[in-house]
Amino acid sequence: GPEAAGNSKKSQSGYVRSARKPTEEKVRRSAGATLSQPYKTDWSLAKDEHWVYPDKMFTSYTFLLQPQFEEYAGSIDEGKKKLMAEPTKYQGLKYQSNMADWPAESQKYHLLLRNGSGFEPKKVTSGQFTYVEAVYQRLPHHESEHVDMENKDPHTDSMMYQGKPLGDPRHPGRGHGCVDVPHLKVIGDIHPNDISQGTVGDCWLLSAISAMSEFDGAIKALFRKTDAIHEMPKEHLNRYVVTLYNLSTSQNAWQTVDIEIDERLCSTSDGSRLLGCQPSEDAELWACYLEKAIAIHCGGWDELDGGHCTHAWRILTGCKEQYTFMNNGGGFECLGTKNPNTDKWEPLENSPQKGFQGLWP
């Protein structure tokens, strides 16, 4: 039955199952609600010194919701002052590039309201328009190629997806257009709603992670070898250790393995968006890093395209005895990877695309 907030109960599996916090404490959305109900970022924690105002020229742009602009007649410099005075209200300023050389009384500009539109100009060397953006840079900015090799993990730069090299990875909170908000964190109030699938076909994995996040402490335990996880990310290049289980019979099967990754999140081949999991609506990163670690553990992003939830649970928990209950039309049957003819478990690999992939009744 329902439990009072704060109560907990120990299950037979050993996990502590806690009552969820009241619904108003965590943003909840129905499927498909992202565009109609944009998340309202709380800018109350924003510090003036963390705002930066880069500009770029463009001709075309993309968006998720229709951008809302306020049009003004007046000097572009005055428009920039308005933007810098209210960066939490306005996301940026747009003006015709050649208009900057016109007399001030002939100039005009548009201020873009922060409405979660996802407005993204496509930068070009010489464009018809110029866009000045108000970017909140919670952490010091640095480009991925300028990070010392000893501070990078050995995987991110060489990873591919569907035969294509990936675009430049993004650093959350460093002005790369990836979670540039003041309340950025790795782990907060862990909840299934923190998970938002990217372009990789790994719903089998994310659904297992979502179910696991219902158990208090289960996700945090996977990051147990990352020091001060609740204080991260910090100003230096952050590194995280995720502890998973090895399934390969040739490499100490069912033993734990530590996957160390850096803070960079992989992007699509054209660099337009994150490849994997999106950060949560309230700026948590744990799902992004857990998915990245599992991709590395399994041999790459392509290895995550298709699989079974039970395979994910083996990697996450080290529990071999996983079963699938399937309705065959005349009732449910129990399926697993234990061969009833030999009374032995079939050999597996970390990748769901390799090793035994069938199911025994």
Q: In the chain, what are the domain boundaries?
A: 21-44+172-361, 54-133
Q: Is 203 a catalytic residue?
A: yes
Kindly name the residue from 203, 298, 309, 319 that is annotated as catalytic: 203
pTM of the model: 0.85
Residues 6+ away with beta carbon under 8 Å from 16: 8, 9, 10, 215, 216, 217
Q: What local confidence, expressed as pLDDT, does residue 16 receive?
A: 34
pLDDT at 298: 98
C-alpha 21/C-alpha 348 separation (Å) is: 38
Q: What is the pLDDT of residue 18?
A: 37
Distance CA 28, CA 281 (A): 9
Q: What is the CA radius of gyration of the chain?
A: 24
pLDDT at position 42 is: 83
Per-residue confidence (pLDDT) for residue 146, from 0 to 100: 64
Query: DSSP string of 133-193?
Result: E-EE-SS----GGGS-GGGS-SSGGG-EETTEE-EEEE-TTTTSSSS-STT-BS-SS--GG
Identity of residue 11: S
Residues of the chain falling short of pLDDT 70: 1-40, 144-149
- Report the alpha-carbon distance of residue 150 to residue 39 in Å, rounded: 37
Asked if 134 and 83 touch (Cβ cutoff 8 Å), the reply is yes
Q: Which H or E run contains 2?
A: none
CB 250 within 8 A of CB 150: no
Q: What is the model's pLDDT at position 161?
A: 98
Distance CA(57)–CA(35), nearest Å, equals 27
Under 8 Å between Cβ of 95 and 129: yes
What's at 86, amino acid-wise? E
pLDDT of residue 40: 67
pLDDT of residue 6: 36
